[in-house]
Amino acid sequence: MKSEPLDVFAAGLAYLGNVHVDYDDERIYFIPSMYAGELRHMTLRNMPANHEWSSFATEDDSQQIMFTELQSLRLLYNRLYMDDDSGEPIEHGDDHPWTLQFPALETAAIHCTVDRCPLLEYAEFPEIMDSLHIEARPAVFRAIARRGLPAARRLSLEVSRGSGANPSVFADLDAILDSAGMSEELALCCSDRELRVVRGDITCRALTRLEVSGPVSVDAMVGLVGTLPNLVRLALWQLTFEERETNLPIPEPEESGWVAPLSTKLARLTISYHPDRYSAAEVVPAAQYMLLRAPALETFVAPHYVQERMAEFVQRFAQQAPRLAEVTLERC
């Protein structure tokens, strides 16, 4: 909808409860004025970072806009400035005239493909939300580490694809996660396939979920499980086997010496790798080792050519390690 037809319906849209606006990359979308206090669910996509929020302001809103009833919010920032019809950037709106207040907000998902997240700079949130998800580039997490985040019972951070494979982001992520003392669930997803995770990169002991798309060595995998005691779900999509230092002893079923279990709550483990770089024979010992060392494991997910050998392994150890029979083997 362009600005002209929107003006026709402006009066009827003033008291919407739900609103979903997708800003166009080629033309400006002007949304009509609407009463912020009536909105309960709002999604704004493809927003410029200098979005002014003037459509939600009333004549009485001199310094703040109150989203009194808003319960869920989804935002996607995909460029710094709004473009006019000629394609030239419109740079007004950087100095935001209002403070946005969300006293009833329960869930928020914020995606930033640019190096700024203005909403976190000038908005006020409730004392604690139910869930907060932020997908962003390293520069945004650097700013968040300095400024802090709204509290949420479930906090999820995601490093965007194509973020530059900057390993310094892990220090900022750990600082953010370590400060999330009110969160019951802490999740971290590294979606950049070029961002390598090594031992010591991720150290927040309260982390409950971790997913890494970039390279992770077997040493790093064992280190993550061993040093993150509250980790419940772990997914590693590029497991690597070069320069392995960790010994992976797999005892025979009749041997009395068993691999000592790790102190971990890990219940679901997913691993994958490049089959053109490594063979299943290289992967299977690492998978067997993790099954023996993760006493709370319920589900193990791996490619089918690994799972065939894992099923044989579980049968061999049926008497000495009966809990392995309770592990669900799934294929990815």
Evaluate the CA torsion angle 1, 82, 69, 141 in order and state its sign: positive
> Does residue 215 have a pLDDT over 90?
yes
Q: Cα torsion for 95, 99, 105, 109, to the nearest 10°? A: 10
| 25-34, 52-61, 210-219, 276-285: which is most confident | 210-219
Q: How far is CA 311 from CA 75, 193, 302, 326, 331, in A?
A: 44, 30, 12, 12, 12
* More confident: 173 or 98: 173
> Does residue 113 have a pLDDT over 70?
yes
- The percentage of residues in the chain with a pLDDT greater than 90, rounded to a whole number, is 49
- The percentage of residues in the chain with a pLDDT greater than 70, rounded to a whole number, is 81
pTM for the whole thing?
A: 0.86
User: Rounded mean pLDDT of 234-246?
Assistant: 85
Residue 139's pLDDT is 92
> Does residue 83 have a pLDDT over 60?
no
Q: Cα torsion for 146, 51, 102, 134, to the nearest 10°? A: -50
Residue 80's pLDDT is 73
> Does residue 254 have a pLDDT over 80?
no
> Does residue 195 have a pLDDT over 80?
yes
* More confident: 133 or 85: 133
| pLDDT band at residue 50 using 50, 70 and 90 as cut-offs | confident
| pLDDT band at residue 31 using 50, 70 and 90 as cut-offs | low
> Does residue 4 have a pLDDT over 50?
no
The pLDDT tens digits for 87-101 are 444 444 445 567 899
Residue 86's pLDDT is 40
Specify whether the CB–CB gap between 9 and 31 falls below 8 A. no
The pLDDT tens digits for 5-28 are 444 445 555 667 888 888 765 555
Residue 167's pLDDT is 86
**Backbone φ and ψ of 191, nearest 5°:** -85, -10
Residue 16's pLDDT is 75
| pLDDT band at residue 188 using 50, 70 and 90 as cut-offs | very high
Q: Whose CA is closest to 213, among 195, 198, 229, 232?
A: 195
Residue 315's pLDDT is 87
Residue 57's pLDDT is 80
Residue 245's pLDDT is 65
| pLDDT band at residue 146 using 50, 70 and 90 as cut-offs | very high
